[in-house]
């Protein structure tokens, strides 16, 4: 599982957080939970796969829009990735 902290070693959510835009550790944990669930639903295993990186960026984008519920983040990300 991904570390919920920005300085953690895991990819890709933590490494894709942009400079100048910060989430709290609790928010990063929500993003990580949504990302992990979406990975499973999409059958993605390699976090360095371009599709997994695109998924992580999408989860971050949705969170920047204000969504903080991990289930809704996951559902929206999966829906958008499935198009």
Q: Which sequence spans correspond to the domains of the chain?
A: 13-81
pLDDT of the residue at 18: 63
User: What does R_g of the chain's alpha carbons equal in angstroms?
Assistant: 11
Strand ranges in 1-83 using DSSP code E only, listed in sequence order: none
Structure tokens at 73: 């983040």
pLDDT of the residue at 6: 37
pLDDT 10s per residue in the chain (83 long)? Answer: 343 433 333 445 666 666 567 888 899 899 999 999 999 999 999 988 999 999 999 999 999 999 999 999 999 999 999 99
| Dihedral pair phi/psi, residue 35, rounded to 5° | -60, -50
pLDDT of the residue at 15: 64
CB 16 within 8 A of CB 56: yes
Distance, CA of 26 to CA of 51 (rounded, Å): 25
pLDDT of the residue at 23: 84
Helix (H, G, I), strand (E, B), or coil: what is residue 63? helix
């Amino acid at each position: 599982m991904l570390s919920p902290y920005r300085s953690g070693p895991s990819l890709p959510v933590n490494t894709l957080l942009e400079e100048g835009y910060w989430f709290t550790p609790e928010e990063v944990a929500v993003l990580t939970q949504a990302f992990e669930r979406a990975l499973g639903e999409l059958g993605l295993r390699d976090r360095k796969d371009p599709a997994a990186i695109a998924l992580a960026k999408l989860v971050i984008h949705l969170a920047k829009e204000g969504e903080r519920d991990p289930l809704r983040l996951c559902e929206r990300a999966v829906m958008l990735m499935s198009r």
